[in-house]
Amino acid sequence: MKMVSTLRFNFRGVGGSQGVHTKGEKEYLEILAALELIKSWPDTNDKTGLAGYSFGTSVILGHSELYAEADAIALVSPSFRSVEGTSLKESKVPALIVTGDRDRLVDSTQLDAELAGFSNAPEFKLFDGVDHFWYGQESRLVPEVDRFFSDKLK
């Protein structure tokens, strides 16, 4: 049985969290603090995976300093705009991008073409019948992300 330490949080001003949302400008600092915290936990190894969903993917893709802190990155339902022009294009960090064919925020054909220009092309998985919110489809998503992290964080 494998053991995995995880930390999930909402950005400032989201849900019940305190603070004021900065629309991506400073939220990356929260990710850096979360990574620092989880790396300080006892009985964890030196491998760190970073996952984001929707807005979280935009924060990750918009701040290359986060790539140095992760050994693998999984991005769920990123917008095309956040993928286009990201410095992840030049990163050597293994990445997984998953989205649904009914996601209105991203054209999967356009995204696939954009990813072909990456120096270390991310693994790209397109799920049939899935929209941006993954309602009722989480059981399809979780094994894919688990497989990716299990492989890349050995």
Handedness of CA 103, 120, 118, 112 (dihedral sign): negative
pTM confidence score: 0.92
CATH of the domain at 102: 3.40.50.1820
Is 37 part of any domain? no
Whether residue 84 is predicted with pLDDT greater than 80 in this model: the reply is: yes
Is 92 part of any domain? yes
Q: What is the rounded CA–CA span in Å between residue 128 and residue 136? A: 13
Q: What is the rounded CA–CA span in Å between residue 76 and residue 145? A: 9
Is 133 part of any domain? yes
Is 142 part of any domain? yes
Q: Which domain holds residue 117?
A: 50-152
Is 12 part of any domain? no
Mean pLDDT of 89-99: 97
Is 6 part of any domain? no
Whether residue 14 is predicted with pLDDT greater than 80 in this model: the reply is: no
How many folded domains does the chain comprise? 1
Is 19 part of any domain? no
Q: Read off the pLDDT of residues 60-76 as tens digits, 9 standing for 90 and up.
A: 999 999 999 999 999 99
Mean pLDDT of 82-108: 94
Strands 123-127 and 49-53: unpaired
